Structure 1
Amino acid sequence: MKKKIYILPFVVFIILVISACVDRHKSEQLLDAAELLMESRPDSAFTMLSSVCASPDSLPKALRMRLELLKAKAQNKMFVPFTTDSTMAAVAEWYDRHGNRSQRMTAHYLLGCVYRDLNDAPMALDQYHEAVSLADTTAGDCDWHTLCRIHGQMGTLFNKMGSPEYELEEWENTYATAMKAKDTIMAFNAYALKAYAYFNMYKMDSVISITDNVVRMYEGLGRKDFAAGHLPAVIDVYLHRKKYDKAKTRMDYYERYSGFFDTDGNIEAGKESYYGTKARYYNAVGQADSAYMYLKKLIKFKDNIQCAEVAYRELMAYYENQLRADSVVKYARLFCRMNDSSAIVRSAEAINKAKALYNYNKAQQTAKDKAAEADNYRFLIICVICFAVIAIVVPYRMYNARMRRQRMAYTEMNRKYNGIWADCDKAASDLQMMESDFEKYKAVKENEIKELKKSISAYHDCCIDNDVTENERTLRNSEVAVKLHLLAAKGDAATEQELSAVIALTKNILPDFYNIITLPKYKLKEREIKVCAMIRLNFIPSEIAVLLNISLQRITNIRSCINMKLFKKSGTKELDSRLKMLK
């Protein structure tokens, strides 16, 4: 019974873990399905996302953040305004720490959309800029669709802020990125919106040129409705320039293909000011009845300041053409009154635009200041790195210079040593040649040889025997030994083949010596055997150091090890003499 009581909590824990895993897997499947529906059916995707979990807080944080990101994406696509930035700010912060570049770009784009709906243009633009900076345009999987939407949102914000230069730049960016995304409609629409930026910059020739191009582009796709939707600006330009035939052609196209008019010729809500454009055209071409008919339509919407202002202005022009001074005065007063009201509204809008643009420019300046501060930090880091490099390189170069000086000293020592040996060999040869005839000369030479051998002995820890054996002379004058002495004198290292030749020479000339130093009981390493052979051939430590390309201290350590292994003696004292005693 007790065992069952102990096991029960463990079983419950296992069941809860399995249940959580199942719920998580189900939630991930729903999120994947919603993401697939996002572009075509954002409303259905949002419904699916809302049903993912009754309590989102119970989900793992990564899954919860993805859920909130997709819900915000669906909400934005459904044109449902955001009312708070708390959720998306947390999502963006989380993805900054845990997401890839594409996820971070999407999170900051949606956070920018939140600030857009909260009418905080500077913060929205700041987030859009952050999102753009995260796009990896060199990657094959770059999210061009999201990137072109970001630039489009920025263009719209600059339009509202009354900054056509910035707006124009963003429409160009939108066009370029939409073409990368193969979203032709988005690209053409961005190109068409450049006309409105040029209109606000009073560059009317550009308005005409772009609009004509837009019509051709959309007609090429068979979408005259989209082409017609971008004609109002160019119609206004032609009316202003009194090119009424061209204005009429564009107006007919607009009314026929835009889809904004019903069968009775009434335009859809929100676009009623177009009746004033029609009245303006008919008034200009002398069709007063038609002008008055459209003005009667327009005056019905006088509660709208824009419609009322246009209506009173065109009625004033209409009655001026009719030579009815009293009506001109009446509508002139109404127009002035409405113009004052409109001016107040425009002034407030201008103040808001100026404030938004000021805040944006201030934010831009703050960003520049931060960038300058970052540059200063980078400069400081570069200075520290340079100092560290100098601190490493200078001692290293000093060490190399010291080693070069030391090697030169070894080389000079080796040169002198070999010179002495050469003198010794020459003297011995002279002695051999003259011993039969020149007893006195012989004595002189013997004394000279003795002195030279004393000089040679100064490089060793033993005396050089007066009676040099034939084997010793063979070893000393062998081709291998002579070549290695010359290499040491020049400061050049020996090759592995040359060192092997030394071992072979020792083995052939001094087989007993070679057999002793290679006995397994002494456990001499290959390099130690080479050093023994070179000592036996009368190479001094500085020569061996150069030939083996190692330091003199290392040679001293090797000699000490040899002395201990062969003779059980510490240090290097008398090693040379002990080795020469080996038979």
Structure 2
Amino acid sequence: MALKEAEQLIDSLPDSALSILNSKEKDINHYSKKDRMAFLLLKAEAMNKSFTPMDTIKFMGDVLDYYKGHGNVTDLIKANYLMGCVYRDKGNSPLALKFFLDAVSINDSSYNRHNDELASRVYGQIGLLYHQQRIPQREIGAWKKCMHYSLLCRDTLSAIQALEYTSFAYSIMNQKDSALSIAERVYSEYRRIGETRYAASSLGTIIAHNIEIGNLDEAKKGIDEYITSSGLYNPRTGIAPGHEIFYSILGKYYEKKHQLDSADYYYRKLISSASDISSLESGYHGLLRVSSLLHNTDSVLKYASLFAETNDSANIKHSADEINRTEALYDYSESQKIAREKAKEADKLRLTVISLTFIIFIVLLLIYIYTRSQRNKRDKELREINTKYSDALIRYYRALKERESLELGLKKVKADKDEEISELKTLLSAFSDYSNKDSWDAEQSLMDHEIVRRIHKHAAQGAMLPINEWNDLIGLIEKILPDFYNFISRVDLSLTLQEKVICVLTRLHFIPTEIATLLNLTKQRISNLRRSLNKKIFNQEGSKTFTANIYRV
């Protein structure tokens, strides 16, 4: 409930959301890990949105590690973003930049329009870091991305603010035309959406340009609008802290107007309220120019000395800033080096996984090939057995016919054939677990029937029994062995179609290997079915007596 309440307030009242979370933090150890991580992620977000310094946070590393393997893409982007904010508040720009870039990389690789607002904020942070490090080319790229995502989520104000920052970047690059063009567009866009305060506060670049080219009337209009509408100027207390450089613009305007007393006044205001060495330098430089125009030699010497002094100090500061930026870049390079080493470790792990996968694939392939070869070997053995049996059966019935043709007087030939027939009976009996040789002669017409011979041929070729052949065989059994067919069709036996097929084929002297081939079953499965049928039909155990029992029906 606390999480839900804080989530509802996080955008509109982040201070209240943070207060709720702080009040519940004592119970966090009783939460599930999932809820604990969600709680901490939301707390970090509330701190960031309420401008609470995040440099004391210790838990973001655990939160980020958790969301690398859990949650959704939005959670992972947010975790990287807030980790960057922690390092931002610690003053570690390189690591902050690293996590911000990780966040946008994840967003770009798995784009979801619901993350547009989050992506806009991340690119805004990247733009500010590049601005602080004075890398304007990259800063411009970041602000353009920020604008893009701001427009996608219909945050027009943020898009215009991002555009305004690009103007500052072009100013740093001394591309004054581009800076001015963008500043004019920014002003128009603020006015278009009714943000007159933002529009007035963006006039600095335009006013400075008009002063520089001598267009003082337009400069005065801009100054008046800035003073009255920006909310940054109080007639009693002056300009808001952080915006003191506007005094320099006022001083230059009155300097151009030759109203040197007013120029002197604003340059002194700039010096008295300066919060950085650059403002002091600008103020003393302005007073130096005013003193020169007034031909006040003593003041010229005084402000020339002060200007030179602050200029030296500014140069020292700029040099220090450059050193800090260089150090930051070095730190960033070190971070990149660490990242590259981790990437190498990940590549090694990936290679190991791929190798293991390949080895497993090869093993499985070899197992498949071996199993397939064993199956083919077994099928070949069945075909050989079936072929031998079928050939013996055909030769047997052929011998019977030849014997009949020789019964009129060819006694010697008849005796030879009798001997051959006897041998074939013995051979055929070896294929079956039922060895009553006398029944072979009695069923000669059935066994030598064309349909039966055709089915034996199917078995010898390793082919399944086609449905049309089965229909023909049933018709044959119904005609020649009606009592047998009626017996296996009895309702009380409840034989399945497969069981009836096994009974019929057994009755027609098909051996188990042939039946297995015709039904596409294993020999063991046929043996089990025969054992089951022997119990169901004849109430006898085992499969050995099944054939004899079927023949007696």
TM-score by length of 1: 0.76
Equivalence map 1:8-19=2 (5 Å): none
Distance apart, 1:547 and its partner CA: 0.8
Counterpart-to-counterpart distance in 1, 2:489 and 2:466: 22
Aligned match of 2:363: 391
Distance apart, 1:61 and its partner CA: 3.3
1:412-431 per-residue CA deviation (whole Å, 9 max, x = no partner) reads 44344434434444444455
Counterpart-to-counterpart distance in 1, 2:551 and 2:15: 102
Aligned 8 A contact 2:64 2:79 in 1:
yes
1:161 aligned onto 2:133: yes
Q: Helix, strand or coil: the match of 2:463?
A: coil
Aligned match of 1:61: 31
Aligned 8 A contact 1:161 1:354 in 2:
no
Larger CA deviation: 319-328 vs 181-190: 319-328
Q: 1:343 to 1:559 in 2, by over 3 A?
A: same
Aligned 8 A contact 1:136 1:142 in 2:
no
Q: Helix, strand or coil: the match of 1:211?
A: helix
1:98-151 per-residue CA deviation (whole Å, 9 max, x = no partner) reads 766545654554454343333233443344455556769968783443442233
Q: Helix, strand or coil: the match of 2:114?
A: coil
1:538 aligned onto 2:509: yes
Match of 2:342 among 339, 347, 370: 370
Counterpart-to-counterpart distance in 1, 2:38 and 2:400: 96
TM-score by length of 2: 0.80
Equivalence map 1:302-313=2 (5 Å): 304-313=276-285
Distance apart, 1:392 and its partner CA: 1.3
Aligned 8 A contact 2:507 2:551 in 1:
no
Aligned 8 A contact 2:147 2:159 in 1:
yes
Counterpart-to-counterpart distance in 1, 2:439 and 2:60: 100
Q: 1:87 to 1:553 in 2, by over 3 A?
A: closer
Aligned match of 1:77: 49
Match of 2:311 among 339, 347, 350: 339
Counterpart-to-counterpart distance in 1, 2:526 and 2:67: 61
Q: 1:108 to 1:60 in 2, by over 3 A?
A: farther
Distance apart, 1:390 and its partner CA: 1.3
Aligned match of 1:171: 143
Q: Which runs of 5+ in 1 are unaligned?
A: 1-27
Q: 1:89 to 1:250 in 2, by over 3 A?
A: farther
Aligned match of 1:547: 518
Q: 1:579 to 1:254 in 2, by over 3 A?
A: farther
Match of 1:273 among 245, 249, 252: 245
Q: Helix, strand or coil: the match of 2:244?
A: coil
Distance apart, 1:342 and its partner CA: 1.4
1:211 aligned onto 2:168: no
1:61-109 per-residue CA deviation (whole Å, 9 max, x = no partner) reads 3677766665554443333434522366666677778766545654554
Counterpart-to-counterpart distance in 2, 1:392 and 1:307: 75
1:350-394 per-residue CA deviation (whole Å, 9 max, x = no partner) reads 222322332233223322321231122122112111211211121
Q: 1:498 to 1:130 in 2, by over 3 A?
A: same
Larger CA deviation: 111-120 vs 537-546: 111-120
Aligned match of 1:18: none
Aligned 8 A contact 2:512 2:523 in 1:
yes
Aligned match of 1:151: 123
Aligned match of 2:154: 182
Q: 1:302 to 1:172 in 2, by over 3 A?
A: closer
Equivalence map 1:464-503=2 (5 Å): 465=437, 469=441, 471-479=443-451, 481-495=452-466, 498-499=469-470, 502=473
Q: Helix, strand or coil: the match of 2:239?
A: coil
Counterpart-to-counterpart distance in 2, 1:302 and 1:268: 11
Q: 1:125 to 1:478 in 2, by over 3 A?
A: same
Q: 1:493 to 1:254 in 2, by over 3 A?
A: farther
Aligned match of 2:376: 404
Aligned 8 A contact 1:459 1:540 in 2:
yes
Equivalent AA in structure 2 for residue 546 of structure 1: T
Q: Percent identity?
A: 32
Q: 1:89 to 1:448 in 2, by over 3 A?
A: closer
Aligned 8 A contact 1:56 1:64 in 2:
no
1:468-519 per-residue CA deviation (whole Å, 9 max, x = no partner) reads 556442244152x233223223322125675576566546534565677789
Counterpart-to-counterpart distance in 2, 1:196 and 1:470: 112
1:382 aligned onto 2:351: no
RMSD of equivalent CA atoms: 4.4
Equivalent AA in structure 1 for residue 193 of structure 2: L
Distance apart, 1:58 and its partner CA: 8.3
Counterpart-to-counterpart distance in 1, 2:443 and 2:203: 112
Q: 1:352 to 1:77 in 2, by over 3 A?
A: same
Counterpart-to-counterpart distance in 1, 2:261 and 2:268: 11
Q: 1:458 to 1:69 in 2, by over 3 A?
A: closer
Q: 1:87 to 1:543 in 2, by over 3 A?
A: closer
Larger CA deviation: 270-279 vs 100-109: 100-109
Q: 1:65 to 1:387 in 2, by over 3 A?
A: closer
Counterpart-to-counterpart distance in 2, 1:276 and 1:452: 124
Q: Helix, strand or coil: the match of 1:352?
A: helix
Q: Helix, strand or coil: the match of 2:233?
A: coil
Q: Which runs of 5+ in 2 are unaligned?
A: none
1:295-343 per-residue CA deviation (whole Å, 9 max, x = no partner) reads 3443444674222201222344455566777755543332221111112
Aligned 8 A contact 1:57 1:64 in 2:
no
Q: 1:99 to 1:452 in 2, by over 3 A?
A: closer
Equivalent AA in structure 2 for residue 164 of structure 1: P
Q: 1:148 to 1:460 in 2, by over 3 A?
A: same
Aligned 8 A contact 1:219 1:227 in 2:
yes
Q: Helix, strand or coil: the match of 1:485?
A: helix
Distance apart, 1:33 and its partner CA: 4.4
Equivalent AA in structure 1 for residue 516 of structure 2: A
Counterpart-to-counterpart distance in 2, 1:423 and 1:408: 22
Equivalent AA in structure 2 for residue 354 of structure 1: T
Aligned 8 A contact 1:175 1:190 in 2:
yes
Counterpart-to-counterpart distance in 1, 2:76 and 2:387: 71
Aligned 8 A contact 1:198 1:204 in 2:
yes
1:253 aligned onto 2:225: no
1:18-69 per-residue CA deviation (whole Å, 9 max, x = no partner) reads xxxxxxxxxx3x664454344333445555666x56x834884367776666
Larger CA deviation: 377-386 vs 412-421: 412-421
Distance apart, 1:407 and its partner CA: 1.8
Larger CA deviation: 426-435 vs 218-227: 426-435
Equivalent AA in structure 1 for residue 222 of structure 2: Y
Counterpart-to-counterpart distance in 1, 2:322 and 2:374: 76
Match of 2:114 among 131, 134, 142: 142
Aligned 8 A contact 2:247 2:269 in 1:
yes
Aligned match of 1:351: 323
Q: Helix, strand or coil: the match of 2:351?
A: helix
Equivalent AA in structure 2 for residue 544 of structure 1: I
Equivalence map 1:85-96=2 (5 Å): 85-86=57-58
Equivalent AA in structure 2 for residue 358 of structure 1: Y
